[in-house]
């Protein structure tokens, strides 16, 4: 290993650039407290494994004190090779051991200038940063700083950004990357559902006083409630009282219900009171609560009030959100059933299901021709099928979607959905950005809690070159949902790239591609951002995957596919992609 000449005024030390590896054993204190002798014996074995891995990668073991060690390397690739070797060797060594006695390293890497004393001790910020990055690694996992990520530029390594982190006693925030496929539990910070599942609800036994009248009312109320909930295809109803009819049988927590519905009935003379509470299964946080009053001489009225009130609340809380407040008073029960079945088929996410959704929403226009709801929903289903590549004839369905949306606007669609569809279509039909922005702003006034509306506005803003406004709209959309969706992050990654925030663009695109590996726009943004960041090997590897998945992809098609008003943005994108190797 080479050393720099000692700087003037610092006798006995010299400076050099080094890659620093810091590793620490997770749960070491607990292991020592449980069995000190076997822990010390195992630690010696792990120390030998670590020393072998460091030596094989031409590194230097600086120290191995207690449950942690530090090593330095000349090359980032060799440091990473050692880190991977340590983690894999430890995992192999753990296999014959009971799970409670297994040890795992957390590993962190940083690179920079360090000071080396004559006695072999190392000092410098990279040692501190490596230790802090290691501390936030997953058990058995490896974290690296952005500086190491840049030096690696190795497409074979799947390094996933976990964002900028505030590290203890480090003044600047540091972007950190996690090496995938090393730790045993490879969970991701962003979970991407393939499609929206039906909300599962375990309906627990109805609580009632031990008298014949109250128990009879409770039993009838529960049966009526189960039937009402089961008719909504957006809900999976689990009967948590064996022996009673229901969609599923068994306790809610045993079958993985996301929510628990508790109900009860109390009686005072001829007066009855029913109540219902909805809880999240995991946290037991109360989501919704309601009570109803009735009388023993009109039990049916109480049953109807509880069933309708509970169903409406769950429609709002779990199925389609706030639009349920609009649909129910405006439509009859048959039309409402078509609405819910239409949403259900849209969530399935297949071409056949998309056509079924259109059929259900069209039925609403036939039964309620003066209501804009059916027209707006039909337009939405047609547009969504095109946007998600589920249409047999995209050009025809775009035209149909615009025609249905225009009819919704003519009927004064106060939901704003029709305006949102027209705004989205303007981006595809002629790229009329000014008209699209005007419609998007009308939609936002009427749909201030709709994430898709904000994403449509963000799409318009990015094509106009207003990347900061696009990012703001994307962030607002992300605030409105519990889980990021691919379409949110496609627009966000593009906006970051337009604003020359290339590290953010690459990070967002990489997260997105975990869920949608064939998202062409995300791949193009990632390749261009990697090239801009000075990672040509990674950029070229991304281009290879683009050409493999999209053989007809060409730079000349960018302008037609993405209608940016400022041609300088397209020129910059084109330049980066050309340098990365896209034809």
User: Lowest-pLDDT range, 43-57, 197-211, 497-511?
Assistant: 197-211
Give the least confident one: 73-77, 181-185, 362-366.
181-185
**Helix 299-314 with 212-230: angle, nearest 10 deg:** 40
Tokens of 360: 């259900």
* Rounded distance between C-alpha atoms, residue 350 and residue 342, angstroms: 13
Task: Look at residues 110, 181, 189, 186 and name the one whose alpha carbon lies nearest to residue 151.
Answer: 110
CA 26 distance to own-chain centroid: 27
What is 365-580's CATH topology? 1.25.40
Least confident of 172-186, 271-285, 379-393, 440-454: 172-186
539 neighbors 531 (Cβ within 8 angstroms): yes
Query: Which of 524 and 319 is assigned the larger pLDDT?
Result: 524
| 135-180 pLDDT tens trace | 999 888 999 999 999 888 777 777 888 888 888 878 888 889 988 7
Structure tokens at 547: 């050409």
Site of tokens 């948590």: 240
- The rounded mean pLDDT for the chain is 83
Distance separating alpha carbons of residues 371 and 331, to the nearest angstrom: 9
Beta bridge partners of 22: 70, 108
Coil, strand or helix at 184: coil
pLDDT over 50 at 5, yes or no: no
pLDDT of residue 196 exceeding 50: no
Same fold, 13-179 and 199-319: no
Give residue limits of the domains in the chain.
13-179, 199-319, 365-580
Look at residue 154 in the predicted model and tell me its pLDDT: 73
Beta bridge partners of 175: 164
The residues, ordered by sequence, that sit 6+ positions from 173 with a Cβ below 8 Å of its Cβ are 164, 165, 166, 167
Identify the pLDDT of residue 249. 37
pLDDT of residue 317: 63
- DSSP letters along 273-332, please? EEEEEEEETTT--EEEEEEEEEEGGGHHHHHHHHHHHHHHHHIIIIIS-THHHHHHHHS-
Judged by average pLDDT, the poorest of 242-256, 332-346, 474-488 is 242-256
**pLDDT at residue 538 is higher than 70:** yes
C-beta separation of 132 from 68 below 8 A = no
* pLDDT number for residue 128: 92
Name the residue with higher pLDDT: 168 or 537: 537
In the prediction, which pLDDT does 241 show?
62
d(CA 357, CA 513): 28
Q: pLDDT-based confidence at 7, cuts 50/70/90?
A: very low
- Given a cut of 90, is residue 397 above it in pLDDT? yes
Q: What is the pLDDT of residue 494?
A: 96
Give 504's contacts (C-beta < 8 A, 6+ positions apart): 496
pLDDT above 60 (res 370) = yes
Quote the percentage of the chain above a pLDDT of 70.
85
Q: Which of 276, 296, 271 is nearest to 286 (CA)?
A: 276
Q: Which has the higher per-residue pLDDT, 64 or 247?
A: 64
| CATH number of the domain located at residue range(s) 199-319 in this protein | 3.40.50.10070
Can you read off the two tokens belonging to residue 442?
Answer: 């009308």
* Position 505 pLDDT exceeds 90: yes
pLDDT at 107 over 90: yes
Kindly report which listed range (37-46, 378-387, 467-476, 486-495) carries the lowest average pLDDT score: 37-46
Tokens 């390749």 sit at which residue?
527
For every residue of 512-542, DSSP letters joined together read HHHH-TT-HHHHHHHHHHHHHTT-HHHHHHH
Which among 316, 352, 358, 346 has a CA at the least distance from the CA of 195? 346
| Mean predicted confidence (pLDDT) in 344-373 | 87
Residue 295's nearest CA partner among 268, 276, 270 is: 270
Residue found by looking up tokens 């795992």 in the block: 104
Min mean pLDDT across 151-160, 310-319, 375-384, 400-409 is at: 310-319
Give pTM, 2 decimals. 0.62
Buried b (16+ CB within 10 A) or exposed e, 265-298: bbbeeeebebebbbbebeeeeebbeeebebeeee
* pLDDT (0 to 100) of residue 23: 93
- When pLDDT is cut at 50, 70 and 90, the band that residue 498 belongs to is very high
CATH of domain 13-179: 3.30.70.1230
Cβ neighbours, 10 Å, residue 366: 10
Q: Is the pLDDT of residue 431 over 80?
A: no
Q: Is the pLDDT of residue 457 over 90?
A: yes
pLDDT > 80? residue 267: yes
* pLDDT on residue 352: 87
The pLDDT of residue 328 is above 50: yes
The mean per-residue pLDDT over the stretch 220-242 comes to 79
pLDDT, residue 231, reads 72
């Amino acid at each position: 290993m080479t050393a720099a000449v000692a700087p003037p005024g610092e006798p006995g030390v010299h400076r050099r650039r080094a890659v620093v590896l810091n590793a620490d054993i997770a749960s070491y204190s607990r292991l020592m407290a449980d069995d000190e002798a076997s822990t010390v014996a195992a630690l010696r074995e792990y120390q030998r494994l670590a020393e072998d891995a460091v030596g094989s990668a031409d590194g230097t073991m600086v120290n191995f004190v207690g449950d942690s060690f530090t090593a330095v390397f000349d090359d980032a690739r060799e440091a990473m090779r050692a880190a991977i070797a340590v983690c894999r060797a430890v995992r192999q060594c753990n296999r014959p051991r009971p799970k409670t006695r297994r040890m795992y390293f957390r590993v962190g890497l940083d690179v920079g200038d360090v000071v080396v004393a004559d006695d072999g001790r190392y000092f410098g910020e990279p040692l501190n940063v490596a230790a802090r990055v290691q501390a936030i690694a997953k058990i058995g996992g490896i974290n690296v700083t952005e500086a190491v990520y840049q030096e690696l530029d190795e497409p074979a390594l799947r390094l996933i950004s976990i964002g900028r982190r505030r590290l203890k006693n480090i003044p600047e925030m540091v972007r950190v990357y996690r090496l995938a496929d090393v730790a045993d539990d490879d969970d991701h910070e962003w979970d991407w559902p393939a499609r929206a599942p039906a909300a599962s609800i375990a309906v627990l036994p109805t609580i009632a006083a031990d008298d014949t009248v109250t128990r009879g009312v409770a039993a009838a109320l529960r049966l009526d409630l189960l039937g009402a909930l089961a008719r909504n295809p957006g809900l999976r109803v689990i009967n948590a009282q064996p022996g009673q009819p229901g969609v599923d049988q068994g306790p809610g927590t045993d079958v993985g219900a996301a929510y628990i519905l508790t109900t009860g009935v109390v009686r005072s003379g001829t007066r009855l009171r029913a109540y219902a509470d909805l809880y999240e299964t995991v946290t037991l946080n109360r989501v919704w609560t309601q009570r109803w009053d009735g009388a023993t001489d009109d039990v049916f009225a109480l049953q109807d009030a509880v069933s309708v009130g509970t169903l409406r609340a769950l429609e709002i809380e779990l199925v389609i959100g706030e639009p349920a407040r609009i649909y129910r008073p405006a439509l009859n029960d048959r039309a409402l059933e078509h609405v819910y079945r239409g949403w259900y088929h849209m969530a399935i996410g297949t071409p056949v299901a998309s056509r079924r959704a259109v059929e259900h929403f069209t039925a609403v226009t036939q039964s309620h021709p003066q209501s804009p709801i059916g027209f707006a929903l039909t337009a939405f289903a047609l547009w969504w099928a095109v946007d998600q590549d589920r249409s047999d004839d995209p050009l025809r369905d775009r035209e149909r979607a615009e025609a249905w949306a225009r009819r919704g606007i003519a009927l004064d669609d106060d939901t704003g959905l029709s305006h949102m569809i027209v705004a989205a279509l303007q981006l595809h039909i002629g790229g009329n950005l000014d008209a699209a922005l005007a419609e998007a702003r009308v939609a936002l006034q009427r749909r201030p809690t709709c994430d898709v509306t904000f994403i449509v506005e963000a799409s318009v803003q990015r094509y106009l070159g207003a990347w900061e406004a696009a990012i703001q709209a994307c962030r607002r959309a992300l605030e409105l949902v519990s889980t990021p969706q691919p379409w949110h992050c496609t627009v966000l990654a593009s906006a970051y790239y337009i604003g020359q925030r290339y590290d953010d663009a690459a990070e967002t695109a990489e997260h997105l591609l975990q869920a949608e590996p064939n998202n062409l726009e995300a791949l193009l943004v990632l390749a261009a951002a990697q090239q801009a960041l000075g990672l040509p090997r990674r950029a070229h590897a991304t281009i290879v995957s683009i050409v493999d998945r999209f053989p007809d992809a060409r730079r000349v098609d960018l302008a037609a596919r993405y209608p940016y008003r400022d041609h300088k943005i397209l020129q910059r994108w084109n330049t980066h992609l050309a340098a990365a190797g896209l034809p």
